Amino acid sequence: MSINRRTFLQRGAAGAALFTILPRKVLGKMGGANDIIAPSDQLTRGIIGVGGIGRSPQHFVSDQSCRMVALCDVDQNHLDAGVEAAKKTFNETVKAYHDFRELIHDENVDIVHIATPSHWHGIMAVEAANAGKDIMCEKPMTRTIGEGRRVEEAVKRNGRIFRLDTWFRFKDTFYGLGTDVRPLKKLVDSGLLGWPLTVRISGATGFTWKFFWTGKENLEVQPIPKELDYDFWLGPAPYKPYNVHRTHGTFRGYWDYDGGGLGDMGQHYIDPVQYFLGKDDTFPIKVEVDAPQQHHDAVGTWRSVTYTYEDGCKIILEGEGYESAGKVPYIEGPKGKVYKGFECTIPNVMEVINELPEPAPRVTDFLESVRTRRQFALNESNGHHSATIVNMGVCALRLNRTLHFDPKTQLFLNDDAANRLVFQPMRGEWGKYI
């Protein structure tokens, strides 16, 4: 195969008028292969970041419908291991990149899978969208509210399909609830619990905030390992002397790259809540925190973070060790409560739920989204909304005060300092990428 698929595609498109890129299907037919998956109908994927989640069994896959064709990492050991595993597991000779920009602009890559620490998510997603790639991004969507806005804009502007990778809003048992989110959604929509609702995400309702993802103060300065391009790993983050605890696996404990358990698990837990509360197109207007003072660099623990929506709905996060005592409802409304294990104060609740219509259908297969160009169930828009809830909490923790938010402008009210955290500067030239 001397001619690659993309070059072929571009040649095919070269003569076409503006706004007409030939769809893959047409190309498949041009290739004369109607009944098999033509190379042009087969999707391809490149993964950026193959140290942790990018190398996990659920993501390190390659098959007929979507082939893994490229990997990228700034840790040479991770990259080498990934390339070898691709060969061994799928017999795929993948392209290996050190610079994610090369992977994104590799014309053989259809889908860019971003599996780096979250300080890179915004830049990479915007770059991928601008390059005309569809995107799968690990949670949390972005590290700041401002970056999230840019991702949403870039995805829309470039007509891309974006999937944020958490899934509890459409499948799987929902942590302590012992059920998927569907019956919760039906129950909330039914109005049987009354309104407004308070949702408590706490150890007492079946969640854990993973406080072991806290950072360390007074980090020693250590030599940078040979295999790691630390300067590139930091990228847009402020330069700080190397210590192993900043990177791989424990990066979540530092504000520059993530936000501890809240930053990293928050969207997992909060996104389904946003869905069943029907808040996919708005934001809370207030966030309050109860926490020890936070270090400027190392993420610490907290006792509670409370979000309030304009209509009075609340989401309360309770830190590990600070859970409400006694029997605590997961969802509490004026007319009813739902506890861990879907125990409910409404008699015969499952029967009541069964009598209600199912929630509206959504596309929950990412490759189907890419093929049909229909929005994925968790996308650049609702994903940005739930990431913003997390990031509002991060801002309030770092400033140690109550913050008020304007859902229209996506800025904090009467607090310039808080808004400095909405848009944060980027080191070197990385700011140009977003």
Nearer to another protein, 4 or 348 (CB): 348
Which is closer to another protein, CB of 125 or CB of 199? 125
Could you tell me which residues come within 8 angstroms of residue 3 by beta carbon, excluding any fewer than 6 positions away? none
Instruction: List, in sequence order, every residue forming a beta bridge with 404; answer none if it has no partner.
Output: 286
3-class secondary-structure state, position 143: coil
Cis peptide leading into residue 39 (ω within 30°): no
- Contact (CB, 8 A) for 345 and 337: yes
Of 429, 433, 139, 410, give the one whose Cα is nearest residue 259.
139
Tell the smallest beta-carbon distance from residue 214 to another protein (Å). 8
Q: Let me know how long the chain is.
A: 434
Distances from the Cα of 425 to the Cαs of 124, 231, 290, 345, in angstroms?
16, 16, 27, 49
Residue 235 CB, shortest distance to another protein, in Å, is 15
Minimum separation from the CB atom of position 93 to another protein (A)? 26
Cα distance between residue 12 and residue 417, in whole Å: 52
The distance of closest approach from Cβ of residue 348 to another protein in the complex, given in angstroms and rounded to an integer, is 5
Tokens 């925190």 appear where? 289
96 vs 336 by CB, closer to another protein: 336
- Sign of the Cα torsion 263, 390, 426, 418 reads negative
Q: Name the amino acid, one letter, at 363.
A: V
Cβ at position 157, least distance to another protein in Å: 4
Mention every residue, 6+ apart, whose C-beta is less than 8 A from residue 117. 49, 251, 252, 257, 258
Nearest-5° angle of CA 251, CA 255, CA 258?
Answer: 55
Contact 399, 419 (CB under 8 A): no
Decide whether 202 or 214 has the Cβ nearer to another protein.
214
Q: How far is the CB of 120 from another protein (least distance, A)?
A: 16
DSSP code of residue 223: P
Q: Which is nearer to another protein, 63 or 351 (CB)?
A: 351
Burial class of 57 by CB neighbour count within 10 A (0 to 12, 13 to 18, 19+): exposed
Q: How far is the CB of 302 from another protein (least distance, A)?
A: 11
Among 201, 287, 216, 293, which residue's Cα sits nearest to residue 250? Answer: 216
Residue 7 phi, psi dihedral angles, 5° rounding:
-60, -45
- Closer to another protein at the Cβ: 260 or 284? 260
96 vs 308 by CB, closer to another protein: 308
Q: For the chain, how far is it from start to end, CA to CA, in angstroms?
A: 36
- The least distance separating another protein from the CB of residue 284, rounded to whole angstroms, comes to 19
Closer by beta carbon to another protein, 11 or else 374 = 374
Nearest to 166 by CA among 46, 281, 53: 53
Supply the minimum distance, in Å, between the C-beta of residue 1 and another protein: 25
Give whichever of 115 and 199 is closer to another protein, judged by the CB atom: 115
Q: Smallest distance from the beta carbon of 332 to another protein, in angstroms?
A: 23
Shorter beta-carbon distance to another protein: residue 4 or 354: 354
